[in-house]
Structures are given as structure tokens and as C-alpha cells.
Amino acid sequence: MVTRPTGVCYRKIFNKLQEGLRGEKTPRKGPKVTTPFSSQLRRQAESIWRAIYAHPFLRELQAGTLSVERFTYFILQDYLYLLDFAQVLSLGGAKSPDLQTLEIFDRHALTAVEVERSFHASYGRSLGFSQKQLDAAPKGPITEAYTRHLQAVARGGSLGEIVAALLPCYWIYGVVGKKLHRRRPRRPKIYREWIETYASEGFWNLVREQIRLMDRLGAGANSSEKKSMRSHFLLSSRYEYSFWEQAYRRQRWPV
């Protein structure tokens, strides 16, 4: 009795014949490639980031035509924002699982503090306001909302959530710096220097550290935590857009 090949055997024979006719082997599937978590976040926020790149504040900054009043308002609000930013980084350090991660957060927090400390000596002098004026400046509506968002995540969220909330500030400023750098204005000098700061390799080293940390923490997060991380990243991205808008309109509290 002759045994007839099964359906599976027929498929194997057919595949072998096809390989022979083509002179090649059937390609095998390689290991599944996982998209880094930071890339997933950026893709989800792409429409927000495109709106930021097109904002008139940044277009006029690059052209050197942005009014000094708008830039001054922005710098004052950024100064106020940095204090909360440094505090949130310190809270991230307190939740760090190892010395290497703790060192990153502490170093980044110190960098933010040093930016504040040197502010009056550089931008303040150029724009013509005193330390007293800096300290007396009130937070604008978006600055207040944005910093409260960061502080809430830092106090109630995981380390991964903290990084997700902070990362848009790092990453967006770095990308904006690079986008504006090629055609940066010669004057005003302060606009050119601002762009050069965020396009610099020194700043991008900080950005890359946070991106790598985001990828590491995202890879180890469960589905619930990843959902929260995405939500924080998107909200911070929206606040970044609103921060530019606030400065362009020099928004004040209505009452």
C-alpha cells in the first residue's frame, strides 16, 4: 500500500519546488522589532509638535522680527517655570531605583538651578530688568497650569510617568533649536544666542539622556502605566504649544 502525502506534505513539496525555480530559499521571519517607547510617544504627538514648529512666535524669533516685549514675557515665564521644573527633577531623583538614574536627575536639576542663577546676569541685563522684577513677576495662566501638572505627576506618579511629563520640554526645545539654527538671525544677538543654546550639543546630551531613560522605563512598564505615560506626554506637549501662545499674546489673568 502506498501512503499518499498529506496536505501539509504537499505544501512542503510545493515550497521546495518554488525555491528551486527561483533559485532562492523562502525568507524566514526574523525577530520582532519593537519601536522604542519614546518614538511611539513622539509619533502620537506629531500633530501638536508640527503646530509648535509653525507658531508665529518661533517664526518671528528666527526672522529676528519678534517684539522684545513678547520675548521678555517669555523669558520671565520661563524663569518662573524653571523653579518647578528643578523641583520635579529632584522628586524624580527621590524615586530613582539606582545610583545611575539618581545621578541623572540630580545633575539635570542642578543644571536648571544654574540656569536660574545665571539668568539675571545674562538675559536680565540684556532685557533691562532687575532681580527684584524677576522675583515679583506672577505666573501666567499657562505657566501655572503647566507647573501644577508637572508637580502633580511628580508627587503621585511613577518614575516613568515623571519622565514622560518632563520629556516634551527637553525634546521640543532641542528640536526647535536645531530647526531654527540654520537660518538663525544675526540680530538681535539675544535671539541668536537663545537658538544656539538649544541647538548645542551640550543641551542635546541632556535630551538624549532623557530619551534613553524614557525608552528603558517604557520597556518595563505595564499597559496601565504606559497609558498614563502617553497621557502625560501628550498633555505636556499641548502645554508646550500653549506656553509659546501665552508669550505671543502676553496673556494675563482676566480677573
DSSP string, 86-116: HHHHHHHHHT-SSHHHHHHHHHHHHHHHHHH
Within a domain: 2 = no
pLDDT digit string, tens, across residues 144-196: 999 999 999 999 999 999 999 999 999 999 999 999 999 999 999 999 999 99
Within a domain: 13 = no
CA angle, 207 then 73 then 179, to 5°: 35
Annotated active-site residue in 116, 161, 225, 240: 240
Contacts of residue 62, defined as CB under 8 A and 6 or more positions apart, other chains included, come to: 180, 183, 184, 185, 195
Q: Shortest CA distance to 180 belongs to which of 69, 52, 77?
A: 52
pTM of the complete model: 0.86
53 three-class SS: helix
Task: Summarize the confidence of residues 245-253 as an average pLDDT.
Answer: 97
Within a domain: 14 = no
Compare 135 and 97 and report the one with higher pLDDT: 97
Within a domain: 76 = yes
Containing structural domain, residue 49: 36-249
Give yes or no: 19 in active site: no
pLDDT for position 223: 98
pLDDT for position 32: 67
Within a domain: 19 = no
Within a domain: 81 = yes
DSSP characters over 10-41: HHHHHHHHHHHHHTSPPPPP-PPPPPPHHHHH
Secondary structure E strands in the chain = none
pLDDT digit string, tens, across residues 122-142: 888 888 888 888 888 999 999
CATH number, domain with residue 214:
1.20.910.10
Task: Summarize the confidence of residues 94-112 as an average pLDDT.
Answer: 96
35 three-class SS: coil
Please measure the distance between the N-terminal and C-terminal CA atoms of the chain and give it in whole angstroms.
97
Q: How many domains does the chain have?
A: 1
Annotated active-site residue in 114, 169, 209, 245: 169
Give yes or no: 240 in active site: yes
pLDDT digit string, tens, across residues 65-93: 999 999 999 999 999 999 999 999 999 99
pLDDT digit string, tens, across residues 6-57: 544 445 543 543 444 445 454 556 556 789 999 999 999 999 999 999 999 9
Contacts of residue 140, defined as CB under 8 A and 6 or more positions apart, other chains included, come to: 73, 77, 246, 251, 252, 253
Within a domain: 160 = yes
pLDDT for position 29: 60
Within a domain: 113 = yes
